[in-house]
Structure 1
Amino acid sequence: MRFGLITGEALSGLRRNASMVISVVLVTFVSLTFVGAAILMQMQIGKMKDFWADRAQVAVYMCASVSTAPTCDGGVATQDQIDAVTAQLTGPTLSPLIREYTFETSEQAYEKAIDQLGAEYESIITPDQINATFSINLNDQSKSDVIAEAFGGTSGVEEVKDQLQYLEPLFSALTVATYIAVGIAGLMLIAAVLLIATTIRLSAFARRKELGIMRLVGASNRFIQTPFILEGVFAALIGSALASVGVWATVEFGVNGYLRERITFVTTWVDYGDLAVVIPVLIVIGVVLAALSAGFAIRRWLRA
């Protein structure tokens, strides 16, 4: 009976302040949708980094005839220089870091280039202009600096490149987009908190006579405050549910229905397992913020 009375009072307050409640629901929905999008974006960045870190290679480019690096003053890398690099890769210092490596001669690289560019380039490009290349897969891609230090300044080596560096601008752009989404979400959550507090105060003002009578008959502050807190929680729950539908639609239609088919070089995308983590987080954020905001507002009003 006591629970039914409290719930009835909360629902009655929601009906009395329907326009404000709708505003709270919409602001909560938009803000939590941005929060969910930001979380999913960070998850996607993490998946992409893990995927490419496992496949990215460190390339050691040997000198070609057109190389201008100081270590290439002798022209095309000699077989002795290539053997010296091979010896280092298989030596006790570097071999524990390396999962596997392959070596592509300048002739092999030349054939690939002609296949891609067309036979008309055979008279323009010669094999000695193409770098012979060691392609190295590391056990831990974060150790790529060790390879760079080992071969930096080595005679016959033009440069050392970590292929993962080519993807860093993409990861940086996605991270900036995440920060923007978090910033917008933070502003919207502040607006939602203020709206909830305003709604609760208006509801308390509209029922000030009832609250006065309840105080006179000895009702506890907790009994008086609970319906108002539930009003904020109910409104936030509706907004959280809508935000959950929004992030689900983003994954279902935006990722599975659109991006997977058009961006084929990315094979790992956020999925329903990630949604199972994000949706409870959104609901908890909405409920906790609403409860705290409503509780603070009604306590201040009762003390006034």
Structure 2
Amino acid sequence: MRLAFILGELGSGLRRNMTMVISVILVTFVSLTFVGAAGLLQLQVGQLKGFWYDKVQVTVYLCNDVPTNTNCVAGAVTPDQKQNIQGMLDSPAVKPYVEKWTFESQDEALAHFKEQFANSPMADSVEAGNLPSSFRIKLTDPEKYQIINESFSATPGVDSVVDQRKVLEPLFVVMNGATIVAVGLAALMIICAALLISTTIKLSAQSRAKEIDIMRLVGASKTVIQLPFVLEGVIAATIGALLASGAVWAIVKFFMGGFLAKGNTGMPIISTGQMFAIYPVLILLGIVLAGVASVVSLRKNLKV
């Protein structure tokens, strides 16, 4: 009987305040979409860092069949040249600056390339022969890059020496800045959503003042009186959160995985599967936002 009463009051409140409910849905949708966008940016930064930034500090690229500088005019690196480079890495002059190093063959480079660009048309257009083999070096002190560069840049068989962190750092700075902006906008929109939910619940309670008085007289508990109003806000915010989840999926599927992937010039794109962790956060945030705003509003405006 009590459940039926609560559901009846809930349905009545939703019908009476449909315009305000739609407003709550829309503002929650917009605010949580910004939250989702901030999450996507962080996932994208993590995608970039995961293979390049956190694992590689300096890369010594070896010559392949397509020469790009005078070190490679004789063709691809020979086994003797490769052995010489490895010996230099283990030599007393260089070893103190090297924490560890690994060798990546052309086949391994192709496998990593396809892993990074799984969502890009580029993945099927590159062969192992197009990619150079390389020594991946982690330095004991990243500031000592110039020593490695001077030691290997003119060595026969070496195509180039690249400090990957310096190459990628500007991109990460821009993307982290975009994340901060998205989080700021999301916080502002969440405040707006909380205020709108609070106002909606307040107006809903005021429009049913006589019904609330009657429920008090018949001995209805504080929870029974307040619960329909709280559920109104929660339902509206949950619908907004579900719409925001759909918007996040569409951004990854059609914009990042479609438009950006087609014009991709060298940036790995996150997949739709990687963003599933964002959905529960958006829905839970919507529910908590609506629940807290509703309870606070009722305590201030509905004295039971």
TM over 0.5: yes
1:274 aligns with 2:271: no
Contact 1:244 1:279 in 2 (8 A): yes
After TM superposition, give the deviation of residue 302 of structure 1 in Å.
Answer: 2.3
Give the Cα separation in 1 of the matches to 2:262 and 2:275: 20
User: Alpha-carbon deviations, 1:221-280, whole Å to 9, x = none?
Assistant: 01111000000001101111111111111111112221222114223x222322321111
| Mapping for residues 139-218 of structure 1, pairs under 5 Å | 140=138, 143=140, 145=142, 147-148=144-145, 162-218=163-219
After TM superposition, give the deviation of residue 166 of structure 1 in Å.
Answer: 1.2
Shift of the 84–94 alpha-carbon distance from structure 1 to 2, 3 Å rule, reads farther
Shift of the 85–241 alpha-carbon distance from structure 1 to 2, 3 Å rule, reads closer
CA-based RMSD: 3.2
**Residue 100 of structure 2 aligns to which amino acid in structure 1?**
L
Counterpart residue number, 1:16: 16
Which structure has the bigger radius of gyration?
1
After TM superposition, give the deviation of residue 36 of structure 1 in Å.
Answer: 0.4
Give the Cα separation in 1 of the matches to 2:140 and 2:50: 14
Counterpart residue number, 1:256: 257
User: Alpha-carbon deviations, 1:30-72, whole Å to 9, x = none?
Assistant: 0000100110110011011112234663459xxxxxxxxxxxx
Contact 2:6 2:227 in 1 (8 A): yes
Alignment partner of 1:97: what SS? Answer: strand
Alignment partner of 2:12: what SS? Answer: helix
| Mapping for residues 51-90 of structure 1, pairs under 5 Å | 51-53=51-53, 54=55, 57-58=58-59, 89-90=89-90
**Residue 30 of structure 1 aligns to which amino acid in structure 2?**
V
Alignment partner of 1:219: what SS? Answer: coil
After TM superposition, give the deviation of residue 176 of structure 1 in Å.
Answer: 0.8
Aligned residues: 247
After TM superposition, give the deviation of residue 153 of structure 1 in Å.
Answer: 9.2
Counterpart residue number, 1:99: 102
After TM superposition, give the deviation of residue 11 of structure 1 in Å.
Answer: 2.1
Shift of the 149–255 alpha-carbon distance from structure 1 to 2, 3 Å rule, reads closer
Counterpart residue number, 1:77: none
Contact 1:39 1:278 in 2 (8 A): yes
Q: What residue ranges of structure 1 are gaps of 5+ in the alignment?
A: 61-82, 103-134
Shift of the 96–186 alpha-carbon distance from structure 1 to 2, 3 Å rule, reads closer
TM-score (norm 2): 0.72
Counterpart residue number, 2:109: none
- 91-100 or 180-189, larger mean C-alpha shift: 91-100
Give the Cα separation in 1 of the matches to 2:217 and 2:206: 17
After TM superposition, give the deviation of residue 22 of structure 1 in Å.
Answer: 1.4
- 183-192 or 15-24, larger mean C-alpha shift: 15-24
Give the Cα separation in 2 of the matches to 1:31 and 1:101: 45
Q: What residue ranges of structure 2 are gaps of 5+ in the alignment?
A: 62-82, 106-133, 155-160
Identity of aligned residues (%): 45
After TM superposition, give the deviation of residue 23 of structure 1 in Å.
Answer: 1.2
Counterpart residue number, 2:241: 240
After TM superposition, give the deviation of residue 4 of structure 1 in Å.
Answer: 2.7
